[in-house]
Amino acid sequence: MELILSGGPILVAIIAVSIYALYVFLVRFRTLSREPADNEALMRTVNAAVRERDLDAALAACETHGGPVARVLGAALTRLPYGRSALESAFQEASLEEEQRLARGIRPLATIAQIAPLMGLLGTVTGMIVAFAEISSQGTGNPAALADGIGQALVTTAAGLIVAIPTLIGQNVLSSRVDAMLLEIDRRREELMGEVAEAVASRRDAGERSPAA
């Protein structure tokens, strides 16, 4: 309590910001950790359904599996009957929407990591103002009169750095998880596009053989 009181209102604001940053990190980390990471079974089912031209089975597999990859594939597969260009456009749109969904919370953490040291610097400046005001009114003969201003300057500077450093680490942890998920989405998208191309080519070959037969 003595530290909080010596830090003044700036320290209270830094503490409030740190609590919000911790809340955002825990919520987003929990959300990202619960997203399915193993998509091999999903892709086997979807690829088999595409080869069999069973769109309903592919969409049902995406809905059952859940997760970023399944959501993007499901949104794109609904456009499969309209051709390859429609499928690619749906992929791009769904990928952008999923990126926004996954990256939610990272920008607030980045903002807090940037402003926390500035808030500490603000506390330093206001603390020195208080100290110099005491010097001008009482002189330098009473060190106790300077304690409040100097204490505020030191405590808020340290608090700003203490908040900024772990917040920056938390932001990087979440960013790494999101980047890995987006890379997985891109990889599975290319895999599905290859399956679609093979399915179209095999159907074309079958159609060319039928008249000859």
Q: How many CB atoms lie within 10 A of CB 167?
A: 26
Q: Quick: pLDDT tens for 132-177.
A: 666 666 665 556 656 666 767 788 888 899 999 999 999 999 999 9
Lowest mean pLDDT among 48-62, 102-116, 117-131, 163-177: 117-131
Q: What is the pLDDT of residue 209?
A: 56
Q: What is the pLDDT of residue 176?
A: 95
Lowest mean pLDDT among 6-10, 173-177, 192-196: 6-10
95 vs 114: CA distance, rounded Å: 28
pTM over 0.95: no
DSSP H helix total and E strand total for the chain: 7, 0
Per the model's pLDDT, the better-predicted residue between 134 and 59 turns out to be 59
